[in-house]
Chains A and B, each alone.
Chain A
Amino acid sequence: MSLTRRSLLGTTAAAATAIGAARSGRAQAANTIKIGVLNDQSGPYRDTGGVTSVACTKLAVAEFASKGFNVEVVAADHQNKPDVGAEIARQWYDRDGVDMIIDVPTSSVALAVAGVAKEKNKLHINVGAATSDLTGKSCAPSLIHWCYDTYMLAKSTGGATVKAGGDSWFFVTADYAFGQQLQKDTTAFVTAAGGKVMGSVAYPFPGTTDFSSFLLQAQASGAKVLGLCNAGGDTVNSIKQAHEFGIKMKLAAMLMFITDVNALGLDVAQGLSLTESFYWDLNDRTRAFTERAKKVTPNNWPNMVHAGCYSGTLHFLKAVADLGIDAVKKGTGTTIAERMKAMPTDDDAFGKGSIRADGRGLFKSYLFQVKTPAESKGKWDYYKVMGETSATEAWRPLADGGCYYLKS
């Protein structure tokens, strides 16, 4: 009965104003670059991305000194549904003159939006989704994957957990592209390091809030490690309920953000290992960025997705300025993507980085451990750095991805 069916255009003002605006895409001012932030604003990933991603995108726009063109930002909620996301993307590209779509968490939606971007040769910078397929078998010349993916998570968190003695695993997995890919990538690292996967269970996504039945199965398997291949609200609930049921296994939260740690509280989350490519307290530059971001998002300090929206937007705008607005309007998404790959990235959030030929953003990944309540000096002071992987080592090697458009 919950008719969660579409809210197609979100806050796009153009939608409501014109019955005859169907073809207005072309009437769009030739001097305006339009960015669309598409993500989950009401479901399990609303804190991971949500309105904070929009705020960080707008922050980047505000900080980018205008080089002869205007920038407009629109946003919409894809409700974690591939058909809704694809419809919005299609309308944005076709009808509303959007030049670039950013964020799009939830890998099933990301794949659908990537498909639309490929079909129309328009630019999509994915920040929020995890599936490493975006630079692998689902890659596209106008598609860029910014600051994290399942391979990087599996290598960092998975590798570290196995090294610390976790050699038998049981997975509780969100049953869609993201969970499945994360489980696959983690399994590869576990078995490569000599470990064993005792079993797994996949649960319906979205909509599952009670994980007790799956946790019981995990416990019964006798594995040492409980691998959680889920994210956001699901991870928070799984961990809380694991405590409730006295699950004695070591918890490996394969994807966890500082926003989730905040929701759990340090009492429950302490000691957990996780991987992110951004943390506000890493260095002076990240601290400076966080100060600026705090002003526009006081309740939710930036995690790597939010920082990624900022960073990706900034680099995109630099590429547009470099190409010139006319070239951008006449060209395709691939034109801009290629320029973005040619220019190295540099911003306060991630420091210096680059984009690889297959669209893979190359940044350092950090292994963090959650502090105990005693170690933490205040709210959001949650992480200790336990290790880092360099920008070249953290990601799947170019040759292994199987991306079709790379000239070998």
Chain B
Amino acid sequence: MFMIFGYPSALLFGQLLLGLINGAFYALLSLGLAIIFGMLNIVNFSHGALFMLGAFVAWGLLEFLGISYWWSLLLAPIIVGAFGVLLEKVFIARLYKLDHLYGLLLTFGLALVIEGLARNQFGSSGMPFAIPKQLQGATDLGFMFMPNYRGWVVAASAGMCLLVWLVIEKTSLGATLRAATENPAIVQSFGINVPRMITLTYAAGVALAAFAGVLAAPIYSVNPNMGASFIITVFAVVVIGGMGSIAGSIVTGFGLGIVEGLTKVFYPQGSSVVIFVVMVIVLLTRPAGLFGKGGH
């Protein structure tokens, strides 16, 4: 252990790692929000609740069916994604013609219901979720002690973000998606089923949230409030990054996580508000967000 700027290296790198982990969740969640906003023009307030559902599904799969964490990484997003399809078809689709505010309020109400039901069933303290055996233990890197699971979280989310970015920016499916965002009518006239595309996009965004939920389960305990505590910070991340850009939300997510982690070293009391302070600064200097495209 050596000293940097007068702080023990283990502390600095440890907090940096924790910051990266938080950043990983911010990135995954804001990515999902950005995708949904891009296609549907809906700010999905229930994103946090769906993130929480992903964790609960993983817990349930383990508890009642003995299905391991690794399978849950695949299954939970599919299950929650299917639930997202249901939500979109039954509730959200009806509001496209209305003021955006109603979409926000509706997803807010849905979040209340989902989280309330979870809290009724499981209490507010949550259930423990064991770290999968293969990832238990820690690696002593010399300058810091890294729990293996937490290292995995950073790697997995970075990988997933990269994958999503590749699909959207580099594949024809992604190109169609981007086109449909800009001009649905023309894309529809090409013979592409735009409403189905919209539903699947929502499901994909939701699945991303659920994936993040499974990753989060061993760290935060599976509890009904886990989404609520993340979602508002994620909104701030999105405002900072700008709603338009996919790459922007990934970079901003990880970046702000690191900023938060460093604040915990140098000025711990400010760590919960630093992201909001950054948001205020960005709003005053670059109202469209760091990577945003024009106007509000």
Closest-CB distance, B267 to chain A (whole angstroms): 12
Q: Contact between A244 and B124 (Cβ–Cβ < 8 Å)?
A: no
Task: Take A213-B15, A245-B145 as given contacts and tell me if A207 and B229 are in contact as well, using a CB distance cutoff of 8 Å.
Answer: yes
Task: Take A1-B49, A42-B125, A216-B18 as given contacts and tell me if A244 and B10 are in contact as well, using a CB distance cutoff of 8 Å.
Answer: no
Q: Identify which of residues 102-127 in chain B touch chain A, using a CB-to-CB cut-off of 8 Å.
A: 108, 111-112, 115-116, 119, 123-126
Q: Contact between A212 and B115 (Cβ–Cβ < 8 Å)?
A: no
Residue of B15, B108, B126 touching A216 (CB-CB under 8 A): B15
A220 at the binding interface (Cβ < 8 Å): yes
Q: Identify which of residues 33-71 in chain B touch chain A, using a CB-to-CB cut-off of 8 Å.
A: 45, 48-49
Q: Contact between B124 and A1 (Cβ–Cβ < 8 Å)?
A: no
Task: Take A3-B112, A246-B145 as given contacts and tell me if A43 and B125 are in contact as well, using a CB distance cutoff of 8 Å.
Answer: yes
Chain B residues closer than 8 Å to A142, beta-carbon distance: none
Q: How large, as a class, is the contact surface on chain B? A: 35 or more
Closest-CB distance, A267 to chain B (whole angstroms): 13
Chain B residues closer than 8 Å to A42, beta-carbon distance: 119, 123-125
Q: Contact between A244 and B45 (Cβ–Cβ < 8 Å)?
A: no
Q: Contact between A2 and B115 (Cβ–Cβ < 8 Å)?
A: yes
Chain B residues closer than 8 Å to A233, beta-carbon distance: 125
Task: Take A2-B119, A212-B18, A220-B8 as given contacts and tell me if A201 and B268 are in contact as well, using a CB distance cutoff of 8 Å.
Answer: yes
B176 at the binding interface (Cβ < 8 Å): no
Task: Take A2-B224, A246-B145 as given contacts and tell me if A216 and B119 are in contact as well, using a CB distance cutoff of 8 Å.
Answer: no
Chain B residues closer than 8 Å to A41, beta-carbon distance: 123
Closest-CB distance, A203 to chain B (whole angstroms): 10
Q: Contact between A216 and B111 (Cβ–Cβ < 8 Å)?
A: no
Residue of B10, B123, B221, B226 touching A43 (CB-CB under 8 A): B123
Q: Contact between A209 and B223 (Cβ–Cβ < 8 Å)?
A: yes
Chain B residues closer than 8 Å to A219, beta-carbon distance: 10-11, 14
CB nearest neighbor in A for B145: A246
Q: Contact between B125 and A44 (Cβ–Cβ < 8 Å)?
A: yes
Task: Take A1-B49, A220-B10, A233-B125 as given contacts and tell me if A207 and B225 are in contact as well, using a CB distance cutoff of 8 Å.
Answer: yes
B82 at the binding interface (Cβ < 8 Å): no
Number of interface residues of A (CB under 8 A): 29
Q: Contact between A4 and B18 (Cβ–Cβ < 8 Å)?
A: no
Closest-CB distance, B43 to chain A (whole angstroms): 13
Chain A residues closer than 8 Å to B49, beta-carbon distance: 1
Interface majority SS on A: helix, strand, loop or mixed?
loop
CB nearest neighbor in B for A236: B128
B138 at the binding interface (Cβ < 8 Å): yes
Residue of B7, B147, B221, B228 touching A244 (CB-CB under 8 A): B147
Q: Contact between A2 and B228 (Cβ–Cβ < 8 Å)?
A: yes
Interface string of B215-252 (1 = CB under 8 A from A): 00001110111111101000000000000000000000
Closest-CB distance, A288 to chain B (whole angstroms): 32
Q: Contact between B231 and A1 (Cβ–Cβ < 8 Å)?
A: yes
Interface string of A244-261 (1 = CB under 8 A from B): 111000000000000000
Separation of A201 and B45 alpha carbons in the complex (Å)? 32
CB nearest neighbor in A for B136: A244
CB nearest neighbor in A for B52: A2
Chain B residues closer than 8 Å to A246, beta-carbon distance: 138, 140, 145
Interface string of B136-172 (1 = CB under 8 A from A): 0010100001010110000000000000000000000
In the assembled complex, 9 residue pairs joining A and B whose CB atoms fall closer than 8 Å, in A order, are: A2-B224, A2-B228, A42-B123, A209-B221, A212-B14, A212-B150, A216-B14, A244-B138, A246-B140
4 further contact pairs, Cβ within 8 A, besides A206-B124, A213-B15, A244-B147: A1-B48, A2-B119, A216-B10, A245-B138
Residues of B whose CB lies within 8 Å of any CB of A are: 7-8, 10-11, 14-15, 18, 45, 48-49, 108, 111-112, 115-116, 119, 123-126, 128, 131, 138, 140, 145, 147, 149-150, 219-221, 223-229, 231, 264, 268, 272
Residues of A whose CB lies within 8 Å of any CB of B are: 1-4, 41-44, 46, 79, 201, 204, 206-207, 209-210, 212-213, 216-217, 219-220, 233, 237, 240, 244-246, 263
Shortest 7 CB-CB contacts between residues of A and residues of B: A220-B11, A42-B123, A216-B14, A2-B228, A1-B111, A43-B124, A220-B8
